[in-house]
Amino acid sequence: MSSSIQGSKSVLVTNDQLAAGVQTSISESGSGKLITSGAVHNVADLLLDKTINFGGVSLKLTQSDTTPAFNLSDATNYACSALTGTISNSQLANSSVSLGGISIALGGSDATPAFNLSDATSYACSALTGAISNSQLANSSVSLGGISIALGGSDATPAFNLSDATSYACSALTGAISNSQLASGVETGNPSHESANLITSGAVYTTTNIIQSTATSLAARVSALEARPKIFAACKYNGSNDTISYANNITDNSSYPEKIGTGHYKFQLITAHSTAQYVIVATIIETGDKDTVVQVVSGQQTSSTFEIIINEDAPGNHNTGTARDRVFMFICVGE
């Protein structure tokens, strides 16, 4: 009788080779037993290599390890989802981040990090808190007219240098201008370009009278002059063709002057006088030996309008005669 047994090797055992009382048939396949020379051996005992090794874990055949401590340093494609437990910072090659000079470990926190923002851009001014001091500004002051003042500072009476300033109103000046402050060489005679004399109320004043070295206030003297009667309107008018060749403060439009009749005219002041009490002085401009009478119509003079009549008679006759259209000029004088 012979039996064939499968294992790591295939052998043929004859009945003669079997020891007495040893079964000559194997009832279970794959039992790991090998019968040879009348003896029964475990297959593992007959192998040259009786252990296996994976990832640094060694096991004998027929042994088991349900939690092997494999060395997986060369393993790949291990699913992250299969990991259990947690990875500590010490197990990471890089376990912190650094921004703006502030380093913080993973899992750590800093509610008020002192970032270095020297290279940062586009930070909104609206996001700033607190105040920026002058010492933090590249420029923290302004200078005008030789006066420098820090931001936030004040100078109620700055001594500005206004040597290059223009259009400063005389009305804004305070105090008095002394003679020493006036330009040298002020003309006190009769300059060729205009008279240095002022005629008012029958008296003649030169600039010497007005600007005196003993004057305590030039402004007071100017005010005194302004209070005297002055010419506030003037006109040259041709009654023949109803035209104005010169006018100052006299209306010249379709309504005024108004030619009421021959030698009779009505005029209007552009800026009315404060009252109807002002003087109108008129004179005829013509050639020939004729007497003329200029009449301001009584009762027709108001603060803004007045009427003039031109009458002409034969020489030597001083009575009011025939009204005539003539060229004449007049001025209005008042306080």
Rounded Cα distance between 254 and 243, Å, is 11
Q: Kindly report, residue by residue over 217-253, the tens digit of the pLDDT.
A: 666 666 766 667 889 999 999 999 999 999 999 999 9
Rounded Cα distance between 124 and 133, Å, is 18
Q: What angle do CA 128, 131, 136 make, to 5 degrees?
A: 100
Q: How many CA atoms lie within 13 A of 263 on its CB side?
A: 16
Q: Kindly report, residue by residue over 128-173, the tens digit of the pLDDT.
A: 888 889 998 999 899 998 999 999 899 998 999 988 888 888 888 8
- Contact present, 34 and 41 (Cβ < 8 Å): yes
The predicted structure's pLDDT at residue 188: 45
**Phi then psi dihedrals of residue 130, to 5 deg:** 75, -165
pLDDT higher than threshold 60 for residue 320: no
Cβ neighbours for 314, distance < 8 A, ≥ 6 positions apart: 290, 291, 321
189, two tokens = 């005679």
- Contact present, 180 and 218 (Cβ < 8 Å): no
Give the start-to-end residue ranges of the domains of the chain: 1-85, 178-227, 230-334
The predicted structure's pLDDT at residue 202: 52
Rounded Cα distance between 202 and 229, Å, is 11
User: How many percent of the chain have pLDDT more than 70?
Assistant: 68
User: How many percent of the chain have pLDDT more than 90?
Assistant: 29
Q: What angle do CA 259, 261, 263 make, to 5 degrees?
A: 85
The predicted structure's pLDDT at residue 109: 94
pLDDT higher than threshold 90 for residue 55: no
Cβ atoms within 10 Å, residue 235 = 22
Rounded Cα distance between 198 and 210, Å, is 9
Higher pLDDT, 271 or 216: 271
- Contact present, 334 and 226 (Cβ < 8 Å): no
pLDDT higher than threshold 50 for residue 46: yes
Q: Kindly report, residue by residue over 83-94, the tens digit of the pLDDT.
A: 888 889 988 999
Mean pLDDT of 42-69: 79
Instruction: Supply the DSSP symbol for 15.
Output: G
Rounded Cα distance between 62 and 47, Å, is 13
Rounded Cα distance between 110 and 98, Å, is 12
Mean pLDDT of 266-292: 86
Most confident segment among 24-28, 63-67, 196-200: 63-67
pLDDT higher than threshold 80 for residue 291: no
**Does the bond joining 257 to the residue before it have cis omega, within 30 degrees of 0?**
yes
Residues in the chain: 335
The predicted structure's pLDDT at residue 251: 96
Rounded Cα distance between 15 and 20, Å, is 9
Residue whose C-alpha is closest to residue 221's, from 211, 206, 208: 211
